[in-house]
Amino acid sequence: MADPAANFSVEFFPPRTAEGRTRLDRVHAELAALGPDFFSVTYGAGGSSKEGTRGIVLDYRAAGSELAPHISSTGRDLDVVRELLRVYRDAGIRRIVALRGDLRPAHLKTANVFYARDLVEFIRRESGDHFHIEVACYPEIHPESPGYAMEIEYFRRKVAAGANSAISQYFFNADSYFRFVEACLGVGVDLPIVPGIMPITNFARLSAFSEKCGAEIPAWLARRLTDFGDDQVGLREFGDEVVSELCERLLVGGAPGLHFYSLNLAGPVRRIWENLDLSQRR
């Protein structure tokens, strides 16, 4: 059984169109009925807008949900970050997800990189302990990482800068998560690490995403998903089963919650939530 304080959350990204926003409002209402601990809203992820984040955060907060806005920074836009922190604090928001954001390879080589750790330090300097700060982590290692041990070391430093808990990149191999948590404990990093969960709804999109972010689709799973071809219903049912089993294993193994990458869809999150009876598990 999961920790009694298990935390279940759902991530949205800001839609590009007015129709997308109307759809997201319906998705938010449907998922809010499940009672997640909070919704998070990405900031410029995968080329999506940064401007849209604030509006969605404030609107859904006004509708009564707990919100955790994501913030990333290049280090040259700290006035924007400062203003966001002020607006969010005034709106009663207590949780922020602090990220570096993806950089172009050229930027990585030439610029003075402003890492997530620098942003965590900035938020602490600006806002003291007002915000619970979430940071990202990568059980299968960030694509730019120089190696496993350095990944853990950089994560340790980021946490030491003032993070309260972490949300992981998604994965389909529970052992990668348990090993990562163990390695963190080995260097004294014992904050809650909530696994990020990606529902399976579309194999082509999942493959493209996974390639970019360094998440592995195990060979057996890729093969089974390929075999569904155009059978979207079969793929969906199989995907729900695989992801629900993964979540069950994680919770039974002691994961302190689950963070769902909803891709702005209610159905997959709701089905997994109901399969696992999450409302009764905290």
User: Least distance in Å: CB of 229 to ligand FAD?
Assistant: 30
In the complex with ligand FAD, the residue whose CB is nearer, 59 or 241, is 59
User: Least distance in Å: CB of 98 to ligand FAD?
Assistant: 7
| Backbone CA torsion sign across 91, 278, 2, 234 | negative
What are the backbone angles phi and psi of residue 92, rounded to the nearest 5°?
A: 85, 20
120 contributes a contact to ligand FAD by CB under 6 A: no
Do 3 and 281 contact (CB within 8 A), yes or no? Answer: no
89 contributes a contact to ligand FAD by CB under 6 A: no
57 contributes a contact to ligand FAD by CB under 6 A: no
Longest Cα–Cα distance in the chain? 52
In the complex with ligand FAD, the residue whose CB is nearer, 42 or 65, is 42
Single out the residue of 122, 103, 115, 123 nearest to residue 153, CA to CA: 115
In the complex with ligand FAD, the residue whose CB is nearer, 54 or 117, is 117
Residue 214 has which token pair? 């360094």
Question: How many residues lie near ligand FAD (CB under 6 A)?
Answer: 24
In the complex with ligand FAD, the residue whose CB is nearer, 170 or 236, is 170
In the complex with ligand FAD, the residue whose CB is nearer, 209 or 228, is 209
CA angle, residues 277, 198, 65, in degrees to nearest 5: 60
Alpha helices in 33-77 (DSSP H): 51-62
158 contributes a contact to ligand FAD by CB under 6 A: yes
The binder of ligand FAD chosen from 21, 89, 142, 281 (CB under 6 A)? 142
**C-alpha span between 97 and 67 (Å, rounded):** 10
Kindly identify the residues of this chain, within the stretch 16-45, that bind ligand FAD according to CB under 6 A: 42-45
**Catalytic site includes residue 83:** no
Task: Let me know how long the chain is.
Answer: 282
**C-alpha span between 89 and 83 (Å, rounded):** 10
User: Least distance in Å: CB of 148 to ligand FAD?
Assistant: 10
154 contributes a contact to ligand FAD by CB under 6 A: yes
DSSP 8-class letter at 122:
H
Do 281 and 6 contact (CB within 8 A), yes or no? Answer: yes
User: Least distance in Å: CB of 155 to ligand FAD?
Assistant: 7
In the complex with ligand FAD, the residue whose CB is nearer, 117 or 271, is 117
Contacts of residue 207, defined as CB under 8 A and 6 or more positions apart, other chains included, come to 217, 222
Set 11, 134, 140, 151: catalytic member: 11
271 contributes a contact to ligand FAD by CB under 6 A: no
Contacts of residue 3, defined as CB under 8 A and 6 or more positions apart, other chains included, come to 254, 256, 257
User: Least distance in Å: CB of 191 to ligand FAD?
Assistant: 14
The binder of ligand FAD chosen from 54, 70, 95, 236 (CB under 6 A)? 70
Cβ of 242: how many Cβ atoms within 10 Å? 17
Residues that bind ligand FAD (CB under 6 A): 42-45, 70, 72, 97, 99-102, 115-117, 136, 142, 144-145, 151, 154, 158, 167, 169, 196
User: Would you please indicate which residues are annotated as catalytic (active-site) residues?
Assistant: 11
